A and B are shown apart, each in its own frame.
Chain A
Amino acid sequence: MANKFIVATAPHMHSPFSTQKLMRDVLIALIPAFALSILVCGLDALRVTAIAVASCVLVEYLIQKFLFGGKQTVSNLSAVVTGVLLAFNLPANIAWWIVVIGAVVAIGVAKMTFGGLGRNPFNPALVGRVFLLIAYPAQMTSFPAPIYPDYVDAFAGATPLAALKAHAIEVGDANLLNMFAGVMPGSMGEIAAAALLAGGIYMIWRKVITWHIPVAVLGSMAVFAFVVAMVQGGVSPLLYELPVFHLLAGGAMLGAIFMATDYVTSPMTSKGMIIYGVGIGVITMIIRQWGAYPEGMSFAILLMNAVAPLINKYVKPRRFGMASKK
C-alpha cells in the first residue's frame, strides 16, 4: 500500500473559523458604515480609508520583513481592519500625511512594538486616533458638513457632542432621526448609527463577537444618561432624549460595536466582558458629562484595555459542577 499514514492527536476536525475569516467578517460588517460615510462625506471618505488601509498594511509588512523576519502576517487581514477603523475615526477632509502618521503609530507603535497581532495591550486604531487627536487637535476636530441630503446645520459645523458641550444646542434641538441615519458632522465612520448597528448584528449572527460588550457599553451609557436626565429635569422628555442622544452621538456605536470588541484587548470571559463594557460606558459618560473633551469613548476604551488583563486574572467562569446541586 502506498498510503502514508498521518498521525496527530484528536480532534481531527476543525471548525470553519480562521483568523483571516473572522477579520474578513469584520470587514464585511464595516461595509454599510463605509457606504454611508461615502454617501455623507463624499469621495473623501474613500480617499482617507484607502490611505489608512494601505499605510497600515505597508507598515506591518515592512516591520515583519525587516525587523521580525519569519512568516508574513498581513494576509490575516488584521492590519486592514485596523486601517479601516482608524479611517473611521478621522474627519473625511483630513490631510493625507496625518493619516499616514496615524497608521505608523497604530501599527508600528501600538501593535508591532509588542510583537504583533495578539500581543498588543491597547487597541491599535484607537492609539493612532488618540495620538492624532493630541498632536493635531485642530485638524482632528474640524468636520466637513454632510453633503447629503438637504442638510440643515443644526450644530454649526461642530459634532452634536461638541455643540452640546459648548452649550450651543439643547438636546431637544437635535434631530435624533438624522443622527440615527448618520446625517451629522463627525468622524466618517462614527456618524452612521444605523449602519454600525447593522454591522454589529451581522457580526453577532456570524458569531464573530458576542452581545456582551456592545450591550454592556450601550446599556450602561443609557442608564447613566437616564440618571443624569432624572437629576437635571425630573420627569421630562429628556428622560428618553438624553440616553438616545448619547447612544447616537459621537463614537458610541463605533466604539461599542467595533472598537471595544477588539479580541486582543478585551477580556476573555463573558462576565469579564460585561464588567469591561460597563466600565467603558461609565467612563465615557463621565468624560462627556464633566470632562474637558466633548467625547470620551476612545479614552474610555483605552483605559479599560489597560484593566482587561486584571479582569482576566480575577474574573473566572463558573466551572461545571461547582454549583452545588441538591
Chain B
Amino acid sequence: MKTFPIGGVHPSDNKEWSCNKSIEVLELPDVVNIPLAQHIGAPATAKVAKGDKVLTGQLIAEATGFMSANIHSPISGTVTAVDMQPNGQGMRQMMITIKREGDEWMPEIDRSSEIKRQCSLESAEIISKIKQAGIVGMGGATFPTHVKLSIPDGCKAEYLIINGVECEPYLTSDYRTMLERGEELLVGVEILKKALNVEKAIVGVENNKPDAIALLRKIVKEKNFAVVIEPLKVQYPQGGEKQLIAAVTGREVPPPPGLPIHVGAVVCNASTTLAVYEAVQKNKPLIERVVTITGKQLKEPRNLLTRMGTPIATLVEKAGGLPEGDVKVVNGGPMMGRAMVNIDSPVTKGCSGVTVYSGSEVYRMEPSACIKCAKCIEACPMALEPYLISKLAKKQMWDRLEEEHITDCIECGCCQFTCPAGIALLDYVRLGKQTVMGIIRARAAANAPKK
C-alpha cells in the first residue's frame, strides 16, 4: 500500500467515537459572528454595516486582492455589529455579527438535493465561480481555492489529488462527507479536473476507512467517473499536502519556496471538493460545513452540518456538554489543532472538528532530559532533526537554523508526539521557524530592486 517516504507516527485514531454518526443538520443559530480573517491571506473587506438586512448566502465581505476570499452570510437577518470580537484564543479580531430572522436564501441558490452532473463552463468560469463562492481549503489550512487553481506561468498541472486521508485522529467530517455525499463529491472532482485541465485525478483515502473506499469505487464504476480511488497506509501525517503528493505520485515537493505545482500536483481536500460542486452546480457559497464534535468523555459525539459563525459552545452542548473539571477544547484534531479559551467563538471555514479532552489527557507530560534516542528524527516526515533545531531555536542561533532547513518544518507534531522525554520540541521549532522566515523575508525585501 502506498505511503509517504520518510518518517511518520501511528497515533491511535480515536475515530470510533464519531465515525458511525451520520451527518445531522444543526439547528440554525440565533446569532452568528463571522470573522473577516478566516483564510490565509488578506482579511476580507466588510460590505455590510450595522442595521443592514441580509439573506442567507448574500455576500457580506469581499476578498481584498487576489490572495483573500469572499465571505457570505450563513443566515438571514440583521447585521447588529461590525466590530472587534474575541476569537477562540481570546484574541480580538474583526467580525460581522448577524441576528437571525427566519432563513431566507438568496434566490439564485439551488437548494434541491438533485445531483447535477452536467457542467458546460470553461476553466476560467469555474475558477471565477469558486472565487465568488469564497471557497478555501476546508481541511484546516484555509488556503483560497481559486489561488490554488490559478496555475502560475511556466507550470503545468498533471495531477489533481483529492485529500480524503483525514489522518488527524478523532476527526470524521471528511469521512462522513465521502460516505454520504460521495457522488456529489466525485462530480466536484470532475469540475476541478476541468478547471485545471488535467487528465489524472486521484482520491487518496487512508485505509482505516475501507467502506468509504469501497463506496467511492462503486460510484466511480457505476456512474463512469474518470477518477482513481487510492487507499493509503494508515500513518500520520498521510494527509499532509507534501506527504500525500509523495505517496500518490512518488514526487517530492522541493523545500520552500517550492510548491506542489512545481511537481505538477494540485491537492484539494474532500470537503472542499464538495463545496466546489455546490458552488459551481448549485450557486451555493461556502456558508456551512460538516464539523465533528468529539472526545472520549463526551456523552454524544456527532458530525454536524453547521452554519459558519455558529458558536462552538452550541456544538459542545449538542454533544452533551463539557465533562467535569479541567478540559481542553481544541479547534481541529489533537495533532495540529488549536486549544481554545473562548468556546463562544464561531465555527469558521477551516474548522473540520472540535475535540474535547478531560482528565490527565489535558496536561502535557513533565519534560525531562533529552536522552538522544533519535525517535524525533525517525518520526520527522521532512527528515529534519527536531532535537537539534529545537535546541538551536532555544539558543536563538538563527543562521544555523536556516542551514538545518527549519523552514521545511510542516508543524505536524510527530516529533513532540513521539518524544519519550516529553520535551516541547515543536514549541521551539515553531518559534525558530517563524523567526527564520521573518529573516528570510526581510532579506528578500532588502535585496529587492528599488522602485
Partners in one complex: yes
| A interface list, Cβ under 8 A from B | 1-15, 17-19, 21-22, 73, 76, 78, 116-119, 210, 263-264, 266-270, 273, 312, 316-323, 325
Partner of B387, one of A18, A73, A268: A268
For the complex, give the distance between the alpha carbons of A210 and B372 in Å: 13
1/0 per residue, CB under 8 A from A, across B399-420: the answer is: 0000001001001010011111
For the complex, give the distance between the alpha carbons of A305 and B251 in Å: 37
Contacts of A316 in B (CB 8 A): 385
Question: Shortest CB–CB separation between residue B380 and chain A, in angstroms?
Answer: 8
Question: Shortest CB–CB separation between residue B116 and chain A, in angstroms?
Answer: 39
A-B contact pairs, 24 of them (CB 8 A): A2-B324, A4-B327, A5-B328, A8-B339, A10-B330, A10-B334, A12-B328, A13-B11, A14-B417, A18-B421, A19-B368, A78-B371, A117-B368, A118-B421, A263-B372, A264-B371, A268-B388, A269-B377, A317-B6, A317-B384, A320-B5, A320-B382, A320-B383, A322-B255
Task: Contact check, B258 vs A321: say whether CB atoms are below 8 A apart.
Answer: yes
Task: Contact check, A13 vs B340: say whether CB atoms are below 8 A apart.
Answer: no
Task: Contact check, A321 vs B242: say whether CB atoms are below 8 A apart.
Answer: yes
Partner of B255, one of A1, A267, A312, A321: A321
Question: Shortest CB–CB separation between residue B375 and chain A, in angstroms?
Answer: 7
- Which A residue's beta carbon lies closest to that of B427? A9
- Which B residue's beta carbon lies closest to that of A308? B372
Task: Report B300-357 residues with CB < 8 Å from chain A CB.
Answer: 322, 324-330, 332, 334-341, 343, 355, 357
Question: Shortest CB–CB separation between residue B373 and chain A, in angstroms?
Answer: 4
Partner of B418, one of A17, A264, A273: A17
Question: Shortest CB–CB separation between residue B148 and chain A, in angstroms?
Answer: 19
Partner of A321, one of B169, B253, B368: B253
* A116-B341 contact, Cβ under 8 Å, with A6-B362, A320-B252: no
Task: Contact check, B169 vs A13: say whether CB atoms are below 8 A apart.
Answer: yes
In the assembled complex, B369 has its CB within 8 A of some CB on chain A:
yes
For the complex, give the distance between the alpha carbons of A21 and B420 in Å: 8
Question: Shortest CB–CB separation between residue A262 and chain B, in angstroms?
Answer: 9
- Which A residue's beta carbon lies closest to that of B403? A316
Task: Contact check, B252 vs A321: say whether CB atoms are below 8 A apart.
Answer: yes
In the assembled complex, B378 has its CB within 8 A of some CB on chain A:
yes
Task: Contact check, A325 vs B339: say whether CB atoms are below 8 A apart.
Answer: no
Task: Contact check, B372 vs A264: say whether CB atoms are below 8 A apart.
Answer: yes
Task: Contact check, A12 vs B252: say whether CB atoms are below 8 A apart.
Answer: no
Question: Shortest CB–CB separation between residue A19 and chain B, in angstroms?
Answer: 5
Task: Contact check, A319 vs B418: say whether CB atoms are below 8 A apart.
Answer: no
Contacts of A263 in B (CB 8 A): 371-374
For the complex, give the distance between the alpha carbons of A293 and B142 in Å: 66
Contacts of B365 in A (CB 8 A): 14, 18
Q: 7 tightest CB-CB pairs across the interface, nearest first?
A: A11-B413, A118-B369, A13-B334, A17-B420, A317-B383, A12-B334, A7-B339
Task: Contact check, B169 vs A10: say whether CB atoms are below 8 A apart.
Answer: no
Contacts of A266 in B (CB 8 A): 372
Contacts of A8 in B (CB 8 A): 328, 339, 364
For the complex, give the distance between the alpha carbons of A159 and B426 in Å: 50
- Which B residue's beta carbon lies closest to that of A318? B383
For the complex, give the distance between the alpha carbons of A155 and B449 in Å: 81
Contacts of A22 in B (CB 8 A): 371, 373, 420
For the complex, give the distance between the alpha carbons of A17 and B258 in Å: 34
For the complex, give the distance between the alpha carbons of A3 and B369 in Å: 32
Task: Contact check, B254 vs A321: say whether CB atoms are below 8 A apart.
Answer: yes
In the assembled complex, B363 has its CB within 8 A of some CB on chain A:
yes
Partner of A9, one of B169, B383, B430: B430
For the complex, give the distance between the alpha carbons of A45 and B250 in Å: 54
For the complex, give the distance between the alpha carbons of A269 and B404 in Å: 14
For the complex, give the distance between the alpha carbons of A33 and B19 in Å: 46
Contacts of A21 in B (CB 8 A): 420
- Which B residue's beta carbon lies closest to that of A212? B374
Contacts of B239 in A (CB 8 A): none
Contacts of B6 in A (CB 8 A): 317-318, 320
Task: Contact check, A321 vs B408: say whether CB atoms are below 8 A apart.
Answer: yes
Task: Contact check, B377 vs A11: say whether CB atoms are below 8 A apart.
Answer: no
Q: A13-B334, A15-B417 are known contacts; what are 18 more A-B pairs with Cβ within 8 Å?
A: A3-B325, A6-B339, A9-B424, A9-B426, A9-B430, A10-B332, A10-B426, A11-B336, A12-B334, A12-B361, A14-B365, A17-B419, A22-B373, A118-B371, A263-B374, A269-B377, A312-B388, A318-B383
For the complex, give the distance between the alpha carbons of A322 and B173 in Å: 34
Task: Contact check, A269 vs B374: say whether CB atoms are below 8 A apart.
Answer: yes
Task: Contact check, A116 vs B387: say whether CB atoms are below 8 A apart.
Answer: no
For the complex, give the distance between the alpha carbons of A323 and B357 in Å: 40
- Which B residue's beta carbon lies closest to that of A272? B374
Contacts of B422 in A (CB 8 A): 14, 18
Task: Contact check, A268 vs B368: say whether CB atoms are below 8 A apart.
Answer: no
- Which B residue's beta carbon lies closest to that of A13? B334
* A73-B368 contact, Cβ under 8 Å, with A7-B341, A15-B11, A17-B418: yes
Contacts of A321 in B (CB 8 A): 242, 252-255, 258, 382, 408
Contacts of B355 in A (CB 8 A): 12
Contacts of A10 in B (CB 8 A): 330, 332, 334-339, 411, 413, 426
Contacts of A322 in B (CB 8 A): 252, 254-255
Contacts of A14 in B (CB 8 A): 364-365, 416-417, 422
- Which B residue's beta carbon lies closest to that of A119? B369
Partner of B357, one of A12, A76, A312: A12
Task: Contact check, A118 vs B372: say whether CB atoms are below 8 A apart.
Answer: yes
Contacts of A118 in B (CB 8 A): 369-372, 421
Question: Shortest CB–CB separation between residue B135 and chain A, in angstroms?
Answer: 25
Task: Contact check, B325 vs A320: say whether CB atoms are below 8 A apart.
Answer: no
For the complex, give the distance between the alpha carbons of A2 and B255 in Å: 46
* A15-B418 contact, Cβ under 8 Å, with A319-B384, A320-B242: yes
* A319-B328 contact, Cβ under 8 Å, with A6-B339, A12-B334, A269-B374: no
Contacts of A320 in B (CB 8 A): 5-6, 242, 246, 252, 255, 381-383, 408
Contacts of B89 in A (CB 8 A): 7
- Which B residue's beta carbon lies closest to that of A210? B378
For the complex, give the distance between the alpha carbons of A286 and B405 in Å: 39
In the assembled complex, B9 has its CB within 8 A of some CB on chain A:
yes
Partner of A319, one of B327, B329, B341, B408: B408
For the complex, give the distance between the alpha carbons of A38 and B378 in Å: 37
Partner of B252, one of A3, A6, A76, A323: A323
For the complex, give the distance between the alpha carbons of A317 and B242 in Å: 18
1/0 per residue, CB under 8 A from A, across B229-248: the answer is: 00000000000001000100
For the complex, give the distance between the alpha carbons of A7 and B427 in Å: 13
